[in-house]
Amino acid sequence: MRTPRHIVAAVALLAATGAGADTVEVTSTTLVSAGQQTRDRRLGEDPDLVTVVPAYEIVSITARDIRTKVADDLQLQLSGWGSYDFDSLRWDNGTSEALTGDLMSAQVQAKFLDRRLTLRLGREHVMSGVARMIQIDGGEAILVLPGGFRLSGYVGSPVAQRFASRSGVKSWNPAGGDFAYGGRVGWSLAIPGHAGRGLDVGASANVVEDAGDPVRQEVGADFRLQPLQDVSFTGFGAFSVYDERFSEASVAARWKPVHRLEVTADWRFLAPDLFLARNSILSVFSASTRKEYGVGLDYELGRGLSVGADYHLSVEPGETAEDDSYLGHDLVMRADWTRGATDAGAEITYLDALENGYWAGRLYGKQGFGKVFAAADVMSYFFKEDVNGESFAVTGSLSGGIELARGFSAVLAGRAGVTPYMEQTYDVMAKLVYNQTYTVREVR
């Protein structure tokens, strides 16, 4: 089996730029699936069924440790995907054409001043503070200062799906608009002892505009405190300046009283409408506020067996503005077992929400046989109130894979089930993955 020509060409191009790249990582995934989807659903009538057969190609190339005379460290990163629908267009195609695709990231990163200044340029996700992983075409600068201080800032245009309009009215991007900027100032203090001990605090801002109109105006603060090796706290808060109210706040704690036991607790406040663009019509359908209180634990019983449970109490608005808040419950209990090439587990889930609720059970397992593996997964739902006249849903999947030569691997999977919307549903998927790391050295 030969290495794909487009990958060889990309590696050769990077090697011929005049700067030596120590490491080039290449990943290519080819995926074809087939299944059924519903169309033209009308009240009281059975929907039409169509067969969808989409094919995907997902490519990612990263070059690291490129040595130049100007930058201390130069990195190049490129990733994108394309798809083609052989039969009917799938409902989530996003366009009216069978052939579509998108560029997920394309950026250049360089470090200067003994790695104290980092510059990024291109299509990227901004991760700091209230940026909320906003995807932009633009630039970002990060500066590490003495005394534990750190400054970062970014400016650019929010990315639109499928190279479409950047208008907040038409874009799928929840921060849709044509101009975005923001930044974060942080301070950290390391505590001697175990790795990770210390304090990190920061304040940030994020502004998005669409033709001069405000889409998002947020300021926020965050912190992480780890006073001991087995105790840590994190917190985050965001305030919408335009709406003059909080959009999100959260606090979480983790504690390991003994080696095998981990206990967590968290609280979160959300205003879902403020997560959308201000000019999005969907914001009027969002709940006004929501609060969650949670606890969890994980315990290692030994011999590869571990158990865990998570519970959250949610406080959400009632059906009308005059109704009291509704108290919902979300519980997950699980058991996992691992020994050698064998993995197995079981889960029980309970959900009680305003709209509906359910009990659910899941069994799954995976067995390796050298370079070959087989896996199975079954999940059942029993609804609190019938959905489309049905009280339950069951889905199951089988998959198998093999590690081939020269960085290639292949997977074949199938899924079937019974749902409230499909008396019988199925889909199959075939996937070919190429994952390889190249070492390219230039002798000067």
pLDDT per residue, tens digit, the chain (444 aa), is 344 454 444 444 444 444 455 789 999 999 999 998 887 766 666 778 889 999 999 999 999 888 788 888 899 999 999 999 998 888 877 778 899 999 999 999 999 999 999 999 999 999 989 998 999 999 999 999 999 999 999 999 998 877 666 555 555 666 778 899 999 999 999 999 888 899 999 999 999 998 888 889 999 999 999 999 999 999 999 999 999 999 999 999 999 999 999 999 999 999 988 887 776 666 666 667 899 999 999 999 999 999 999 999 999 887 776 778 899 999 999 999 999 999 999 999 999 999 899 999 999 999 999 999 999 999 999 999 999 899 999 999 999 999 999 899 999 999 999 999 888 889 999 999 999 887 765 544
Report the C-alpha gap between 67 and 65 in whole angstroms: 6
Sign of the four-CA dihedral 278, 283, 289, 293: negative
| CA 258 to centroid of chain Cα atoms | 31
Do 47 and 39 meet the contact criterion of CB atoms below 8 Å apart?
yes
Q: How many other CB atoms are found less than 10 A from the CB of residue 1?
A: 10
Residues 97-156: tens digit of each pLDDT: 899 999 999 999 999 999 999 999 999 999 989 998 999 999 999 999 999 999 999 999
Kindly state the greatest CA–CA separation across the chain. Answer: 76
Which residue's entry shows tokens 């169309």? 39
Residues 315-354: tens digit of each pLDDT: 988 777 677 889 999 999 999 999 999 999 999 999 999 9
Do 434 and 408 meet the contact criterion of CB atoms below 8 Å apart?
yes
* φ/ψ (deg, to 5) at 11: -65, -40
Which residue's entry shows tokens 């200062």? 145
